[in-house]
């Protein structure tokens, strides 16, 4: 149980005992004490003065006095400034906390709750390679799943691959026209990039044809419709849907190239999935649900046989759920897939990691599922994230301003190699160890950078300046970890004592206490991160912890502490800090090196 919650409880009890008034613990506001005043945590009294008809001073003295008297092991003293009751937590309390947790490698990790979470993330198209925006998606999805795992959930990570449709056919047509039988192997190109190149070639050829048609007197609209390459593409989609063997064969082959490319990228960045759904298998889903919805009266059928739902009473629009030819539309497929997922896994909650341009779609999806009273409905949550933009604006593939995922990952690894070599601290590492270290640091920097920002907000990526290895970054936290481990290794050599020293009357130094207070907040932060589907809470926390520890580290010696008692205390402090950093970074998908 967290300190702040204990304070809330104690204050609630105090008010009940002193004034016979019921105030729930959650109704007590507890903040960290402002650094200029004495105290660790502060109870804000303003909310109670009206109800209890006492001045803040009297109230503070009575509650503060009661707390110190009733819980001497927790509160050592108090003071009142205006309506703020500042509480000093007893050093013995903090020391006790440290003694209990210092060797607990699972500090902050909760027991299994039996609840199940599904996270759908990544969801690539198979016509081009991944870019920076996909990385944000992948890192968020993986991290959120891990955060829930730590909160006691069983998790299922899924991916829906958008493997069919016009965009795929574009790459296929371009390959038929310009490929001359080339393959990723024959050109020594990564499969997803290989196919992506033909997607670009398609667009170039299409643009040219449209220009020629316009020059021949067509309107822009006519030209776009009549361009031969576009007509061929649409014909190919029809052939695909009709099951034309040659088209299906080509489609399978080109997709397999893309998957082999994706596999490499996923392996590097650490994305993995328990279940992959393919849209080519799910795009016909939902018909049964439409039929059920019609009998339930949730949907209505028009004269042309198309089926609709009217959401105007919910502040939304009318939505089509089935075309007049009886085929499903996007939203219907999603409803069908939601049901299929629920039937297969029965998760309590299902988080969709999807860009914020689909906010409306996701709102409609959940609402329709609720109206249909599908069991999956209430568990649907949209983890909506903002776009990654460049200083010059949005990334546009046409203008060549897309930051390719493989490129940026490689660049980060290269930079981390340079920095590491400049510093020259790991010259004794083997080739493999060095390679691992560069990857750990490079990916750490990239993941931390993309996860440290509130997912809901769009973010700006400046290739020159954004990637830094100092300050609020992954490598800063990794470095703090490596430095602690270095100290601990030295302590092992000389043999450190255990915690059997009597700390009852031990008084903590300011910087020691700062670290312990921060450590104690970790479990609460993990809970908040899950509640809000927000890994940035973890990133901000772990940076703050590393910073606080570093301030302590430069000021006070651990291995060469003033006396044995201090040495043991600080060793356990460092041990727990390292452990929390490791756990927290893991929640972000970031590894921590023993040395760097």
Partner RNA sequence: GGUCUGGUAGCUCAGUUGGAUAGAGCAACAGCCUUCUAAGCUGUGGGUCAUUGGUUCGAAUCCAAUCCGGAUCACCA
Q: Is 416 in the site for RNA (CB under 7 A)?
A: yes
Nearer to RNA, 62 or 348 (CB): 62
Restricted to residues 190-209, the positions that interact with RNA (CB under 7 A) are none
- The structure tokens listed for 231 are 């007509």
Q: Provide the 3-class DSSP secondary structure of residue 595.
A: coil
Distance of closest approach, residue 389 Cβ to RNA, in angstroms:
8
- Between β-strands 75-81 and 84-89, what pairing exists: parallel, antiparallel or unpaired? antiparallel
382/363 Cα distance (integer angstroms) = 8
* Site residues (CB under 7 A) for RNA, limited to 335-354: none
Beta-strand relationship, 307-310 and 300-301: antiparallel
- Tell me the sheet residues that pair with 42: 31, 86
Q: Are 337 and 285 in contact, with CB atoms under 8 Å apart?
A: yes
- Closest CB to RNA among 176 and 550? 550
Site residues (CB under 7 A) for RNA, limited to 352-381: 356-361
Give the integer Cα–Cα distance in Å for 100 and 475.
30
Touching RNA, residues 255-294 (CB under 7 A): 279, 283
3-state secondary structure of 400: coil
The residue whose two tokens read 């947790």 is: 101
Residue 283's SS3 state is coil
The single residue among 171, 536, 579, 583 that binds RNA, judged by CB under 7 A, is: 536
Closer CB to RNA, residue 111 or residue 304? 304
Q: Is 225 in the site for RNA (CB under 7 A)?
A: no
Q: Scanning residues 540 to 559, which ones bind RNA (CB under 7 A)?
A: 540, 543, 547, 550-551, 553-559
Among residues 331, 342, 333, the alpha carbon closest in space to that of 368 is found at: 331
For RNA, the binding residues in 386-405 under the rule CB under 7 A are: 387, 391, 394
- Does 235 bind RNA (CB under 7 A)? Our answer is no
The reply on whether position 485 binds RNA by CB under 7 A is yes
Stretch of residues binding RNA (CB under 7 A), selected from 146-154, 249-257, 312-320, 367-375: 312-320
Question: Residue 31 in 3-state DSSP?
Answer: strand
Q: Between 31 and 185, name the residue whose CB sits nearer to RNA.
A: 31
- Residue closer to RNA by CB (options 222, 317) is 317
CB 79 to RNA: min, Å: 9
Which of 469, 516, 520, 542 binds RNA (CB under 7 A)? It is 469
| Residue window 438-457: x/- pattern of binding to RNA, with contact defined by CB under 7 A | ---x----------xxx-xx
Pair 75, 34: CB distance under 8 Å? no
Task: Choose between 33 and 583: whose C-beta lies nearer to RNA.
Answer: 33
Cβ distance 527 to 109 under 8 Å?
no
- Which residues in 556-595 contact RNA (CB under 7 A)? 556-560, 594-595
Binding mask 74-113 for RNA (x = CB under 7 A): -------xxxx-x---------------------------
Residue closer to RNA, measured from CB, 112 or 470? 470
| Span interacting with RNA, options 11-19, 96-104, 320-328, 428-436, rule CB under 7 A | 320-328
Q: Which of 106, 107, 133, 113 is nearest to 121 (CA)?
A: 133
Query: Binding marks (x or -) toward RNA, 138..177, rule CB under 7 A?
Result: ------------------------x--xx-----------
The whole-angstrom distance between residue 354's C-alpha and the CA centroid of its chain comes to: 12
Give 179 or 474: the residue with its C-beta nearer to RNA: 474
**154 or 532, CB closer to RNA?**
532
Number of alpha helices (DSSP H) and beta strands (DSSP E) in the chain: 22, 14
414 binds RNA (CB under 7 A): no
3-class state of residue 342 by DSSP: helix
- Long-range Cβ contacts of 16-19 (<8 Å, 24+ apart): 17/66, 18/62, 18/63, 18/66, 19/52
Whether residue 537 contacts residue 454, with contact meaning beta carbons closer than 8 Å, is answered with no
Shortest approach of RNA to residue 165 CB, angstroms? 5
* Cβ pair 173, 229 in contact under 8 A: yes
Nearer to RNA, 465 or 500 (CB): 465
C-beta of 182 vs 386, nearer to RNA: 386
CA 593, CA 191: separation in Å to the nearest integer?
Answer: 32
Q: What are phi and psi of 378, to 5 degrees?
A: -70, -20
């Amino acid at each position: 149980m967290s300190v702040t919650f204990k304070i809330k409880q104690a204050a609630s009890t105090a008010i009940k005992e002193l004034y016979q008034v019921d105030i729930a613990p959650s109704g007590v506001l507890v903040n960290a004490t402002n650094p200029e005043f004495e105290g660790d945590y502060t109870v804000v009294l303003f909310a109670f003065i009206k109800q209890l008809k006492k001045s803040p001073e009297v109230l503070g003295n009575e509650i503060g006095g009661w707390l110190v008297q009733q819980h001497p092991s927790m509160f050592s003293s108090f003071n009142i400034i205006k309506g703020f009751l500042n509480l000093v937590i007893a050093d013995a309390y903090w020391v006790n906390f440290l003694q209990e947790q210092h060797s607990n490698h699972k500090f902050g990790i909760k027991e299994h709750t039996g609840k199940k979470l599904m996270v759908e993330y990544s969801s690539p198209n198979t016509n081009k390679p991944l870019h920076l925006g996909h990385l944000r998606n992948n890192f968020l999805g993986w991290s959120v799943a891990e955060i829930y795992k730590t909160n006691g959930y069983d998790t299922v990570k899924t991916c829906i691959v958008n493997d069919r449709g016009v965009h795929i056919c574009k790459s296929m047509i371009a390959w038929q026209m310009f490929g001359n039988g080339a393959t990723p192997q024959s050109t020594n190109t990564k499969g997803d990039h290989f196919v992506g190149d033909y997607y670009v070639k398609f667009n170039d050829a299409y643009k040219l044809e449209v220009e020629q048609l316009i020059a021949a007197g067509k309107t822009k609209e006519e030209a776009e419709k009549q361009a031969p390459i576009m007509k061929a593409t649409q014909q190919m989609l029809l052939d695909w849907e009709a099951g034309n063997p040659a088209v299906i064969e080509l489609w399978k082959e080109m997709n397999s190239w893309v998957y082999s490319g994706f596999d490499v990228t996923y392996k590097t960045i650490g994305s993995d999935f328990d279940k992959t759904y393919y849209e080519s298998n799910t795009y016909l889903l939902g018909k049964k649900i439409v039929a059920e919805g019609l009998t339930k009266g949730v949907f209505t059928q028009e004269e042309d046989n198309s089926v609709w739902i009217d959401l105007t009473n919910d502040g939304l629009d009318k939505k089509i759920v089935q075309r007049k030819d009886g085929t499903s539309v996007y939203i219907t497929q999603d409803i069908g897939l939601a049901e299929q997922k629920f039937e297969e896994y029965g998760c309590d909650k299902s988080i969709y990691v999807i860009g914020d341009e689909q906010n409306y779609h996701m709102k409609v999806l959940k609402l329709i599922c609720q109206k249909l009273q599908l069991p999956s409905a209430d568990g649907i949550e949209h983890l909506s994230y903002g776009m990654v933009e460049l200083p010059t604006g949005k990334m546009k593939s046409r203008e060549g301003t897309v930051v390719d995922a493989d490129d940026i990952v490689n660049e980060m690894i290269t930079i981390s190699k340079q920095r590491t070599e400049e510093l020259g601290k790991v010259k004794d590492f083997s080739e493999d160890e060095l390679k691992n270290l560069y990857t750990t640091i490079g990916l750490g920097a990239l993941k931390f950078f993309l996860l440290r920002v509130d997912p809901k907000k769009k973010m700006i990526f400046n290739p020159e300046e954004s990637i830094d290895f100092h300050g609020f970054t992954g490598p800063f936290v990794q470095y703090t970890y490596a430095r602690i481990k270095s100290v601990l290794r030295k302590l092992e050599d000389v043999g450190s004592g255990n915690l059997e020293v009597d700390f009852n009357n031990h008084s903590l130094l300011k910087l020691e206490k700062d670290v312990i207070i921060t450590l104690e907040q970790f479990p609460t932060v993990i809970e908040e991160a899950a509640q809000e589907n927000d890994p940035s809470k973890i990133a901000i926390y772990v940076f703050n912890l590393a910073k606080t520890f570093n301030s302590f580290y430069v000021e006070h010696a651990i291995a060469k502490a003033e006396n044995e008692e201090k040495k043991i205390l600080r060793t356990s402090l460092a041990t727990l800090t390292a452990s929390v950093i490791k756990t927290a970074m893991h929640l972000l998908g970031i590894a921590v090196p023993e040395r760097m």
